[in-house]
Amino acid sequence: MHAPAVKNIAAVMPLSIGNAFAALPPEFYTRLMPTPLPAPYLVDASASAAALIGLDPAIFSSEQFVETFSGNQLLEASRPVAAVYSGHQFGQWAGQLGDGRAILLGDVPASDPVAGRIELQLKGAGATPYSRMGDGRAVLRSSIREFLCSEAMAALGIPTSRALSVIGSNQLVMRETPETTAVVTRLAPSFVRFGSFEHWFYNKNHTSLKVLADYVIDTFYPELAGAENRYHAFLAEVTKRTAHLMAQWQAVGFMHGVMNTDNMSILGLTIDYGPFGFMEAYDPSYICNHTDSQGRYAYNMQPQIGHWNCYALGQTLLPLIGSVEATEDALKNYQAQYAEKLDALLHAKLGLQTYQENDDKLFDAMFALMQGSHADFTLFFRRLGDLQSVHPETDAPLRDLFIDRMGFDSWAQQYRLRLTAENSIDATRRLAMHSINPKYVLRNYLAQIAIEKAQKKDYSEVSKLRQILERPFDEQPEHARYAELPPDWASKLEVSCSS
Ligand code: AMP
Ligand code: MG
């Protein structure tokens, strides 16, 4: 099973690889090699992700790149591991999970020295001791979805793991039907999850719990290391980052789909893209994950689930923090932090520079109107930026998103009054709004078209879509159809946990 190290890879791929996570005691992981991927080929790779680690995109088409990021050849000095973690899935304690198909190759220096080191992780690189009943593989369909969404979220300015590449193979694995496999290379400073902490707490191993907490604090939160109670400071900071992340998701209409504690990043990043979705016809109770029959992870549940997950983390850190009171203190600002961030984002989305009384009423009325008319979330905010304050007769593109035209007219009137109240200038407001309200998001049907082409070995659409989504705020008039309302068949698309 041992893959040979590539001796001359440094010449083309100057990655000096270490593995800080693997310097932890052995109970945190299992050392193992990726399972070779038969006859791998490049599906797509992201130059902007490559830039994070100083990789020249010229190397994407090389055999070495494909061999390395399929897991077939190891970077010299790489000592890969699969990490153990546990978690709560759909609100229930699920016990031990772990990297069942992800293998951490190690970490490399970020090209931006401030960013420290970045871990390289192969997803779909074969079975591990944590695979349980799974085959350790990921299918091309879900790999493309994770790849595109990681890069799209980064371009939207939302904290996320990144995706360097998708490497495909003709190897088949069984899902609902047989599907071909792929390996995604993911990049993040760390893939430690809330569930990594829960694992030690529920195994009553407070020694390892402390080792993990100290590793994460010292490596990723060094500014907290000297706090009077570093575990309290750590929980408070993770809580804040999670609250802010939830506000960013809500503001762009992103739905994760599986907010289990094992899918919650300890760095406050969006990780583990599965049955995610972007809100289209606005429906706050929308459930993007077809498997989530109870709607636990519906759009409007995300903020409170984020809070619930922080509590689950707090529970595990309690033995280190020392008291229930101090633990609750670290968690107590979640709602306020979420609300404050969302409020700031909503003001920006509406192009409002000041905070005025009754702004929340304007927002509530807007959402009620959008819900009543099933207005497209992305198009609404984008077109709102084009609204001309003194020319209601030019409202048609925006107004046409509403069944309730009268309702829209009366809301638009309120909005215009609100703009006047802060002497808003259309041109300035338009620029500001177009830099926060994306024109292009990864609509399910767009991903589906790219996936279906890729399943026929045409990867051009994956690449094209990635490039469009790398500039979500730019007009890109030549790609305007990628910003249109979804076609009728899109409403029949079902996205499940199957991946
Ligand atoms: P997810 O729902 O993708 O976050 O996965 C939950 C758990 O199941 C994690 O421990 C994964 O590693 C594991 N898992 C999911 N799919 C597979 C698979 N095909 N093979 C092995 N483990 C898997
Ligand atoms: Mg997961």
Q: How many CA atoms lie within 13 A of 115 on its CB side?
A: 17
What mean pLDDT comes out for the span 308-318?
A: 98
Residue 185 confidence (pLDDT) above 70: yes
What mean pLDDT comes out for the span 346-357?
A: 98
User: Residue 388 C-alpha to ligand 2 middle, in angstroms?
Assistant: 45
DSSP lists the bridge partners of residue 277 as 255
What mean pLDDT comes out for the span 445-454?
A: 98
Q: Which residues of 107-146 are buried (b: 16+ CB within 10 A; e: fewer)?
A: bbbbeeeeeebbbbbbbbbbbbebbeeebbbbbbbbbbbb
Distance from CA of residue 286 to its chain's centroid? 18
Can you tell me which atom of ligand 1 is nearest the CA of 260? Answer: 4
Residue 10 confidence (pLDDT) above 90: no
Report residue 169's pLDDT band, with 50, 70 and 90 as the boundaries. very high
Ligand 1 binding pocket includes 87 (Cβ within 6 Å)? no
Neighbours of 25 (CB within 10 A): 11
pLDDT tens figures, 245-256: 999 999 999 999
Ligand 1 binding pocket includes 497 (Cβ within 6 Å)? yes
DSSP lists the bridge partners of residue 182 as 138, 168
Ligand 1 binding pocket includes 123 (Cβ within 6 Å)? no
Ligand 1 binding pocket includes 135 (Cβ within 6 Å)? yes
Residue nearest to atom 14 of ligand 1 (CA): 100
Closest CA to 102 of 73, 76, 134: 134
Per-residue HEC secondary structure of the chain comes to CCCCECCCHHHHCCCCCECCHHHCCHHHEEECCCCCCCCCEEEEECHHHHHHCCCCHHHHHCHHHHHHCCCCCECCCCCCEEECCEEEECCEEEEECCCCCEEEEEEEECCCHHHCEEEEEEECCCCCCCCCCCCCCEEHHHHHHHHHHHHHHHHCCCCECEEEEEEEEEEEEECCCEEEEEEEEEEECCCCEHHHHHHHHHCCCHHHHHHHHHHHHHHHCHHHCCCCCHHHHHHHHHHHHHHHHHHHHHHHCEECCCCCHHHEECCCCECCCCCCEECCECCCCCCCCCCCCCCCCCHHHHHHHHHHHHHHHHHHHHHHHCCHHHHHHHHCCHHHHHHHHHHHHHHHHCCCCCCCCCHHHHHHHHHHHHHHHCCEHHHHHHHHCCCCCCCHHHCHHHHCCCCCHHHHHHHHHHHHHHHHHCCCCHHHHHHHHHCCCCCCCCCHHHHHHHHHHHHCCCCHHHHHHHHHHCCCCCCCHHHHHHHCCCCHHHHHCCCCCCC
Helices 194-202 & 206-220 angle (0-180, nearest 10) = 160
pLDDT tens figures, 187-221: 999 999 999 999 999 999 999 999 999 999 999 99
Report residue 76's pLDDT band, with 50, 70 and 90 as the boundaries. confident
- The Cα–Cα gap between 280 and 273 comes to 18
Neighbours of 277 (CB within 10 A): 23
Can you tell me which atom of ligand 1 is nearest the CA of 99? Answer: 12
For residue 497, what pLDDT is reported? 87
- The Cα–Cα gap between 103 and 120 comes to 9
What mean pLDDT comes out for the span 398-409?
A: 98
Q: How many CA atoms lie within 13 A of 434 on its CB side?
A: 15
- Percent over 70 (pLDDT), the chain: 97
- Percent over 90 (pLDDT), the chain: 95
On whether the CB atoms of residues 130 and 99 are closer than 8 A, the answer is yes
- Give the CA distances from residue 334 to residues 160, 242, 269, 338, 360, in Å, rounded to whole numbers and listed in that order: 20, 8, 16, 6, 19
pLDDT tens figures, 96-149: 999 999 999 999 999 998 999 999 999 999 999 999 999 999 999 999 999 999
Report residue 496's pLDDT band, with 50, 70 and 90 as the boundaries. confident
- The Cα–Cα gap between 270 and 162 comes to 9
Q: Are strands 86-89 and 102-109 parallel, antiparallel or unpaired?
A: unpaired
User: Residue 491 C-alpha to ligand 2 middle, in angstroms?
Assistant: 26
Ligand 1 binding pocket includes 109 (Cβ within 6 Å)? no
pLDDT tens figures, 408-435: 999 999 999 999 999 999 999 999 999 9
Report residue 12's pLDDT band, with 50, 70 and 90 as the boundaries. low
User: Residue 84 C-alpha to ligand 2 middle, in angstroms?
Assistant: 12
Cα angle: 177, vertex 182, 183; to 5 degrees: 145
- Which residues are the active-site residues? 262
Ligand sitting nearest the alpha carbon of 123: 1
User: Residue 274 C-alpha to ligand 2 middle, in angstroms?
Assistant: 8
User: Residue 259 C-alpha to ligand 2 middle, in angstroms?
Assistant: 9
On whether the CB atoms of residues 432 and 351 are closer than 8 A, the answer is yes
Ligand 1 binding pocket includes 280 (Cβ within 6 Å)? no
Ligand sitting nearest the alpha carbon of 179: 1
- The Cα–Cα gap between 332 and 316 comes to 16
Residue nearest to atom 8 of ligand 1 (CA): 100
For residue 8, what pLDDT is reported? 52
What mean pLDDT comes out for the span 451-476?
A: 98
Residue 1 confidence (pLDDT) above 50: no
Of 30, 88, 128, 130, the residue with max ligand 1 atoms within 8 A of its CB, to mutate for a pocket test, comes to 130
Can you tell me which atom of ligand 1 is nearest the CA of 274? Answer: 3
